[in-house]
Chains A and B, each alone.
Chain A
Amino acid sequence: MFSSFMINTWIAGTAIALVAALVGYFVVIRHSAFAAHALPLGAFPGAAAANLLGVNPFVGLLVFVGMGVLLLRQLARIGRRDVGTGLLLVLFLGVGALFLSMTSEYAPEVFSLLFGEMLGVSDADLWPILGICALVSVVMITIFRPLLLDSSFPDLAALQGISAARMDLIFLSLLALVTASALPVVGAFLVFTLLVGPPAAAQSLSVHPLRSLLLAVIFAESCIWSAIALSYWTNWPIGFFVGMLGAGLFTLARSYRHWSQRERPVVQVSGL
């Protein structure tokens, strides 16, 4: 399980879970789960186009996810972000289907980018992944405070000189980068679970901003490590285990929160 070709998977998985938890923390707070679902799907037309042109699928992916970020920004400006996000998602799938229809050969890279591949991390892949993860972590920790205030109450943030438009652009760019780094291991369809499951579970269990952030990281790491191990033993796809574990974690944490709220006595609050 820790043979040399598996080591890369372990390292990449650990790094990906870390940044997925950090960025996912804000995906949950900002109610951006839909955007976090739609953006990674840029991998589909990206990989299909790269396949068609014979370039690295990673490049195709970055191009399409980057365009997705810009489109989402524009859509946010004209309002109804949810509708815009849904339209973007289908646009991605439609364009991807078009590109795939133009080639008759079977495209395994496309499939592995969408659904992940256990042994998909070569030495050449590993360094870009680690680089992106390091960059995302540093930016995330740096802008944590302004982004937290902006995500909680944009008007109050604006008053402190925090631009909502700039925060949104940074957030979506980080989301795009996490997506790109996660693809070789968990795949475009399944990175979503890592982005929302562990952070939502953590935020249900702890009200402390930093403790819930730490808990989100711990949950995400537990998810990916268990998924890699289970996938190794069973030979089932890693995405299946990530999906199951993420959903299970979320369900358990939410149930616990409901249960504990029922048990907690009402706090008496005196007057002003």
Chain B
Amino acid sequence: MTNQSPILAVADLSVDLGGRSILRDVSFDLYPGQLCALIGENGAGKTTLLRTLLGLITQRAGTVRIGAAPAREHRELVGYVPQKINFDPDLPLRTRDLVRLGLDGQRLGLPFFDGRTRYAVDQALQAVGAEDFADQRVGELSGGQQQRAVIAHALVRKPRLLILDEPLANLDFGSANALVDLLGRLIVQQQMTVLVTAHDMNPLIPVMDRLVYLVDGRAATGTVAEVVQAEVLSKLYGYPVSVLHHGGRILVLPDAPENADVANMNRCAGHGA
């Protein structure tokens, strides 16, 4: 892997929002064909990190390079599925129109469909299983369906890096598994690189190559085996934690729960669930 150049290189990234320091010295590299999970509790800074990578937020310090160029210059290489998806119910846009805008929404002129466009859109709809609601108003779809529509919107221009923010949070068990399978297929079949955030790492363990574990804006990165260790995570959390393996699942818990307060307990990502 390391003989290739990284598709995404993040170095010493620090971000402030509203006068507060949100991310501190975050560094990691992603290589083509890898799936990286960005794990952290609510408010850890996952969304902020992704939006900075995409150039939607400007960092205080550090660099982001996508495909060896500064992030803003290579946006067409990136597909993004935001955490909050909420289309206006009256929007005159079918699922297939939304997907189509992912292909050439930046171009000028009216969005007529030609054969090539229709084919590309159908492929993307099929990849996420959205054919059934392709002609429905996006704003009238359920949350999970809107998310699939946006994934198709991101996939249609065949990005090399796909970034998804909490895609599993609103899905039922079956849909979550199906999405994890889809991400696995994308990295294997299309050499796509995937960066996906979650508060629970367990559903992603079968497919993830790398892990960025975010606690209060600071990150530990590496493989699951390298990062999810009591020693590494205790340092990150700033208090002792244990890593428990149980039935193929990983739990991170604060030590001595009879002494630890409940707040600390909840601060550990990947617990229970």
Q: Which residues of A contact B (CB under 8 A)?
A: 28-29, 31, 141-146, 148-149, 152-153, 155-162, 200, 202-204, 206-210, 212-213, 267-272
Contacts and interface: CB of A to CB of B under 8 A. Distances in A.
A210 B91 contact: no
A208 B91 CA distance: 10
Contact of B153 (A148, A156, A269): A156
A172 B111 CA distance: 22
Main secondary structure of the interface of A (DSSP, over half): helix
A54 B98 CA distance: 51
B25 interface: no
Contacts of B94: 207-209
Contact of A267 (B93, B105, B136): B136
Contacts of A152: 87-88, 91, 93, 98, 101
A131 B85 CA distance: 40
A271 B136 CA distance: 16
B136 A161 contact: no
B268 interface: no
B109 interface: yes
A267 B90 CA distance: 18
Contact of B175 (A141, A143, A209, A272): A272
A272 B112 CA distance: 28
A269 B87 contact: no
A30 B91 CA distance: 9
A272 B182 contact: yes
Q: What 9 A-B pairs have minimum CB-CB distances, sorted nearest first?
A: A272-B178, A149-B105, A212-B92, A160-B106, A272-B129, A203-B92, A207-B137, A149-B101, A269-B132
Interface stretch (B33-41, B75-83, B192-200, B252-260): B75-83
Given A145-B110, A207-B135, 17 more contacts: A29-B92, A141-B109, A144-B111, A149-B105, A153-B150, A155-B82, A156-B101, A161-B106, A203-B91, A206-B92, A207-B137, A208-B94, A269-B132, A269-B133, A270-B132, A272-B175, A272-B178
